[in-house]
Homo-oligomer: A and B are copies of this chain.
């Protein structure tokens, strides 16, 4: 342990109490690895503050002793952004689990950074409201981490990403300054929105300790439809049409035909619609009508008039009962586990301009198959947001496949990170995605709010820019 680190740890124990500073390897190990076990680091200490004052004191100590901190939530990221890969001290926010009473008048709630998405959803539901973001890792992912990575998920097409839910935050910046805006003011134009700046900053500017979040109306009776389409191009076009014609559309998920058939095989069930389609589209809507099936069917039929959809609408599987809806959703949600069942998965999470989405899906699958004929490629994602998850398994080792995929993304004007951020995994790619002027501007902001570079210093910025 470096002497600065030893002094920091000694002082930190006085701040949070010795029980909340872990230094024994068997205790720190779980905090040094992410859930995929792809990213494994080491740390001299894990510090677990219990409130914002403790966090502020720890940041001041870290500045004084020049100790790097990695803020950590539920560790459900995929890019190595919250594990101490360079031996940083881990600042775990999981003790900040307070949930204040839901403000029913405002439709808002204030929660601690360590609250899981699942706990937040439950609190909202109990008060007759809902939370606008949902994702598969709901029982582990924490609000702080979701803000730091601007998490997206299934309903961005309806409610926006995490950024759109954040009304305000309490946070400790890298300077040690505590900023706090928790009064729930939806319209509040009094200078720079520091909460929005922290959204997606991956713990490099400040540490969120609490957040004031907007809630949304709970959905009415839901309808889910699964359609098999003649091409990904048709799926993208149909999704666009549904966004303007289907009342209450709240999820638009697309999958390639290969991904779908592999997933059905993994689940051991037959596809409930056209089994040989080139692409599949899963639609969830809250049509707010007495006869939701009819409304959705009408909308599908009306929307279908504008595209070359084959028999997709006639053969669509439509479900309204909860159990039946869940069965259709399984074909989408089981895609990652179907991939994982085949071996170690390369996971990439990218966004394409909508006009490039179908071409990307078509070409990248062919390019991977050409180079690694034994590989299985899964392509699925949130077509309403242009977001594709690329999972490749059983073929390539090393990072060649990541390079192949990200190269195509950049060439088509896409984003190399849709939902998980840059972290460690993608930082060498950042200069391909963002211009020198943008990276320089980001570095100036980093320098302004974290002048000593103590907050997650090894993520986001490429090494040759440091």
A interface residue numbers (CB < 8 A to B): 103-108, 128-129, 149-150, 152, 156, 160-161, 163-164, 173, 175, 177-181, 183-194, 196-197, 199-201, 205, 217-218, 220, 236-237, 240, 243-245, 247-248, 287-290, 295, 351-355, 382, 385-387, 413-422, 426, 430, 433-435, 437-442, 444-445, 447-449, 460
Please, how many angstroms separate the alpha-carbon atoms of A75 and B386 in the complex?
36
> Which chain B residue lies CB-closest to A198?
B192
The answer on a CB contact under 8 Å between A129 and B244 is yes
The answer on a CB contact under 8 Å between B187 and A419 is yes
The answer on a CB contact under 8 Å between A179 and B444 is no
> Which chain B residue lies CB-closest to A418?
B187
The answer on a CB contact under 8 Å between B445 and A449 is yes
The answer on a CB contact under 8 Å between B417 and A190 is yes
User: Which of B177, B190, B196, B382 touches A187 (beta carbons < 8 Å)?
Assistant: B382
The answer on a CB contact under 8 Å between B445 and A353 is no
> Which chain B residue lies CB-closest to A288?
B247
The answer on a CB contact under 8 Å between B190 and A434 is yes
User: Which of B105, B236, B434 touches A355 (beta carbons < 8 Å)?
Assistant: B105
List 11 contacting pairs A-B, 8 Å CB cutoff, sorted by A.
Answer: A106-B386, A163-B196, A175-B441, A178-B437, A189-B419, A191-B460, A192-B200, A194-B442, A247-B248, A288-B288, A288-B295
> Which chain B residue lies CB-closest to A196?
B196
Please, how many angstroms separate the alpha-carbon atoms of A419 and B164 in the complex?
17
Question: What residues on B are CB-neighbors of A437 within 8 Å?
Answer: 177-179
The answer on a CB contact under 8 Å between B179 and A441 is yes
Question: What residues on B are CB-neighbors of A107 within 8 Å?
Answer: 240, 243-244
- Which of A103, A108, A200 has the most chain B CB within a 10 Å cutoff? A200
The answer on a CB contact under 8 Å between B184 and A354 is yes
The answer on a CB contact under 8 Å between B416 and A185 is no
User: Which of B240, B420, B435 touches A189 (beta carbons < 8 Å)?
Assistant: B420
CB distance from A200 to the nearest CB of B (A): 5
The answer on a CB contact under 8 Å between B449 and A385 is no
Question: What residues on B are CB-neighbors of A161 within 8 Å?
Answer: 186-187
The answer on a CB contact under 8 Å between A415 and B188 is yes
Question: What residues on B are CB-neighbors of A434 within 8 Å?
Answer: 190-191
Q: Known: A160-B160, A187-B386. Is A236-B105 also a contact (CB below 8 A)?
A: yes
The answer on a CB contact under 8 Å between A193 and B186 is no
Q: Known: A105-B355, A184-B353, A289-B288. Is A442-B243 also a contact (CB below 8 A)?
A: no
The answer on a CB contact under 8 Å between B442 and A183 is no
Question: What residues on B are CB-neighbors of A181 within 8 Å?
Answer: 438
> Which chain B residue lies CB-closest to A107?
B243
Question: What residues on B are CB-neighbors of A416 within 8 Å?
Answer: 190
The answer on a CB contact under 8 Å between A445 and B448 is yes
Question: What residues on B are CB-neighbors of A192 within 8 Å?
Answer: 197, 200-201, 205, 442, 445
Please, how many angstroms separate the alpha-carbon atoms of A385 and B179 in the complex?
22
Closest 10 CB pairs of A and B: A247-B288, A106-B354, A187-B418, A444-B448, A177-B437, A448-B448, A188-B415, A105-B354, A186-B385, A196-B196
Question: What residues on B are CB-neighbors of A189 within 8 Å?
Answer: 149-150, 200, 415, 417-422
Please, how many angstroms separate the alpha-carbon atoms of A93 and B411 in the complex?
32
